Amino acid sequence: MNEILILLILGLIAGMLSGMVGIGGGIIIVPALVYFLGFSQHSAQGTVLFMFLFPIGILGVYNYYQAGYIDWKTAAIMGITFFAGSFLGSKIAINIDQTLMKRIFGGIIFLISLKMLFGK
């Protein structure tokens, strides 16, 4: 039951952050699954990708659409390339050692955070 509560809270927080600032799946849920629920890095990443198969962002998208904040052309182009990139990235990731995968993941988040904190 404790695991279900963690998942419910995690989903709610990640959904709220996704709706607020566009983050959630990779930055919040993957590390939480690894460190709070004991998932392997690969299992956490695969689980989050499966979660994205559902139209989980539809209500958030609707709110942004209503406010006029969606660039449909950009979203369509990136969605198509994201589709292909997801396939290629998963093929690469499942063949990388879990420890190295955690380091790659953490390094990417670290570099992005530095850019956001200190960049223009």
**16-42 burial, b if ≥16 CB within 10 A, otherwise e?**
ebbbeeeebbbbbbbbbbbeeeebebb
The pTM score is: 0.72
From the centroid of its chain, how far is CA 58? Answer: 16
Which of 97, 108, 7 has the alpha carbon at shortest distance from 48? 7
Note down pLDDT in tens along the chain; length 120 residues: 698 999 899 888 888 777 766 677 678 888 889 888 999 989 988 888 888 877 888 888 899 999 999 999 988 988 898 888 889 988 999 899 999 989 998 898 899 899 889 987
pLDDT for 95: 92
